[in-house]
Amino acid sequence: MDRSWIDDANHISAQYLDGVRAFLDFAFKDRSSESCIYCPCTSCGNRLTKSRRDVLLHCIRYGFDQTYKVWTCHGEGEVNPAVANDNMPMRWEEELELLLRECAYTEHTDPGPSGNEPHRDDENEHIHHGSKGYRKMLEDVEKELIPGCKKMSRLSFIARLLHLKVLCHWSNNSIDLLLELLRDALPDDVVLPKNFYEANKLTKDLGFTCKTIHACINNCMLFTGEDVDREVCVVCGEKRFTQGKDRSPVKKLRYFPLIPRLQRWYVSSKTASSMRWHAEGRVDDGKMRHPADSPAWKSFDHRYSTFS
């Protein structure tokens, strides 16, 4: 079956739509029309199940995963599930290594302040720290977890461990006990983090940390800016800290800065192409295919041309 349509950037062309329909016919040939299958769009990546209609809409909106040429997740070939699961970590790790290489060795250049834009040392410091973190992670992804084992690196083990912690709602103490058990059971040359704190430093090295801002218990205000030193809320009068020696805040707001997150989206070739879709991939032929084709969206772009 010809699958050149998968690489077609025009997701509404006749060739692409016929190809998606052919894929759906193949995936649903032994299923009822009400069944759900893994969605192969670039957003879901065969991780989420969708109905036939939703898979079609996702493939039009996000595009078909261009690396998915052999449809093993949809019954193509006599594939042993156990063998397929054994191969998945290698594929996942290869993509992770590619992403880390791009992030680690891409020049994070900043044109500096221009016009009325102030120079932001904290953002540049964040970018620099993030680059060092990516390079450290790249070293870990090239380290074998067990000498001679090619299936899993030290980094992929830690990433999967943290993923399981979130999925299964494990406590920090349970991770500490599990790592202690693994260190006792595995050979001495297997280097594992001592506890959850060391394993969790992975996210900090990659720059995925958030900013914590104290908040009023009734959500009246944030203790930031000129109010950073206040002890009580100026609206309701509630105290900022709990009673006791530790003086911990009664409520916190966790904020993920937007600019560093956008920079990470653009630093990888995989995600940068999606970020440029509006300028390079969207079809603008006068038909309503996307909210950007609406008069309201176009009016906003015209009014705020710098932002758009």
Per residue in 103-138, pLDDT tens? 655 544 444 444 444 444 444 444 444 555 566 666
Per residue in 48-89, pLDDT tens? 888 888 999 999 999 998 888 888 888 776 444 344 344 444
The pLDDT assigned to 87 comes to: 42
Q: Is the pTM of this model over 0.85?
A: no
Q: How far is CA 100 from CA 125, 134, 142, 150, 272, in A?
A: 19, 6, 11, 18, 14
The pLDDT assigned to 176 comes to: 92
Q: Is 280 helix (H, G, I), strand (E, B) or coil?
A: helix
Mark out the alpha helices in 171-218 (DSSP H runs). Answer: 172-185, 196-205
Instruction: Name the residue with higher pLDDT: 108 or 256.
Output: 256
The pLDDT assigned to 95 comes to: 59
Residues 6+ apart with CB under 8 A from 274: 42, 62
Q: How far is CA 109 from CA 172, 208, 275, in A?
A: 38, 20, 18
Instruction: Name the residue with higher pLDDT: 64 or 204.
Output: 64
Look at residue 279 and tell me whether its pLDDT is greater than 60. yes
The arithmetic mean of pLDDT across residues 136-151, rounded, is 67
**Measured between alpha carbons, how far apart are the two ends of the chain, in Å?**
41
206 contacts 130 by C-beta, under 8 angstroms: yes
Look at residue 97 and tell me whether its pLDDT is greater than 80. no
The pLDDT assigned to 126 comes to: 43
240 contacts 232 by C-beta, under 8 angstroms: yes
User: What percentage of the chain reaches a pLDDT higher than 90?
Assistant: 24
Per residue in 14-59, pLDDT tens? 899 999 999 999 888 878 777 888 899 988 888 888 888 899 999 9
Q: Nearest Cα to 28, choosing from 36, 17, 20?
A: 36
Q: Which of 114-128, 138-152, 182-196, 223-237 has the lowest mean pLDDT?
A: 114-128
The pLDDT assigned to 214 comes to: 95
The arithmetic mean of pLDDT across residues 203-228, rounded, is 85
Per residue in 232-244, pLDDT tens? 999 999 999 998 7
The pLDDT assigned to 243 comes to: 84
Per residue in 283-307, pLDDT tens? 778 888 888 889 999 899 899 988 8
Distance CA 272, CA 265 (A): 6
Identify the bridge partners of residue 144 per DSSP, sorted by sequence position.
153
Distance CA 87, CA 114 (A): 49
Count of CB atoms situated within 10 Å of the CB of 1: 8
The pLDDT assigned to 201 comes to: 78
Look at residue 253 and tell me whether its pLDDT is greater than 50. yes
The arithmetic mean of pLDDT across residues 257-280, rounded, is 80
pLDDT band at 162 (very low <50, low <70, confident <90, very high): confident
Sort 153 into a burial class: Cβ within 10 Å, 0-12 / 13-18 / 19+.
buried
The pLDDT assigned to 203 comes to: 63
25 contacts 83 by C-beta, under 8 angstroms: no
142 contacts 98 by C-beta, under 8 angstroms: no
As given in the structure block, the two tokens for residue 259 are 């600019």
The pLDDT assigned to 233 comes to: 94
